[in-house]
Structure 1
Amino acid sequence: MGDCACNSGVKIIYSCSGAADVGELSDRAVRQLRKEGIAQGSCIAAIGVELSGYVQSAKGADMTIAIDGCPVGCARLNLENIGVTPVAINLAELGFKKGESPYSETLLCGCGGNC
């Protein structure tokens, strides 16, 4: 069996963390993925105001992942604004609707969380 490269390189994951229910869901999903060791978490607000250390970390990562809750895609857009093209996941594209997707452990686990 070959060696797994799953955990090699620096992976940073961001969520929109918006005020809507889908923003909370994206934030909780990122926290779960971080807890499982899938990627390091970082602050999308710091990217938005272009704090140099955060921007350098995002640009230097081997992989950046943005999980957004709604079609606006704020996490993805903030990363693209600094020249980083993330792997973008949008919960709206997975059928979640703003105002109709209150957070629950069951819902998070259905998104791939290992609860």
Structure 2
Amino acid sequence: MEVEGKEVEGMDNNQKSGKAKIAIFTCAGGSNTGQLANAIGIKLVKANLGYMVCLAGIAAGIKTSFKKVSQAKDVIVIDGCPKSCAKKILEKAGIEINYHYDVTKLGIKKVPGSIDFTPQEVEIVEKFITENLNSI
């Protein structure tokens, strides 16, 4: 991301080059939908649609995590269920969320204790979020 000639510690090449300006936070909870949310975040990064920021770093008050967020054009959160834990962590930290997604709202059933999800579920969520982000 563009930082007016400055580098923020921990930035990757996409962030430094200005190619990715969307900070992505995901759930990585102990269910299929939590793991699906995280997998989608990774796919978005690999597609150069944004960069991931450590949610635990925000909860722990790590300065470099906050710096990465401050350089973002937009902040998106992908939660694995309606409890919206990732969203709540960011709200408590005072971070403005531009787009929030709950994968269960796309018809994917949460199975607590299971970390397995299908390629079809990945396709459903990835397509929905990618189309939404491409319209930004």
TM score, norm. by length of structure 2: 0.70
What runs of 5+ residues in structure 2 fail to find an aligned partner?
1-17, 131-136
Q: Does 1:67 align with 2:78?
A: yes
CA RMSD, aligned part only?
2.2
State the aligned residue count: 108
2:61: which partner in 1? 50
What runs of 5+ residues in structure 1 fail to find an aligned partner?
1-6
Instruction: Tell me which stretches of 4 or more aligned residues in structure 1 moved more than 4 Å.
Output: none
Structure 1: which amino acid aligns with 2:111?
A: G
Q: 2:102 aligns with which of 75, 84, 90?
A: 90
> Is 97-106 or 76-85 further displaced after alignment?
97-106
CA distance in 2, matches of 1:45, 1:106: 29
> Is 49-58 or 100-109 further displaced after alignment?
100-109
Give the SS at the match of 1:111.
helix
2:45: which partner in 1? 34
TM score, norm. by length of structure 1: 0.81
Q: What is the aligned-residue identity percentage?
A: 25
Give the SS at the match of 1:37.
coil
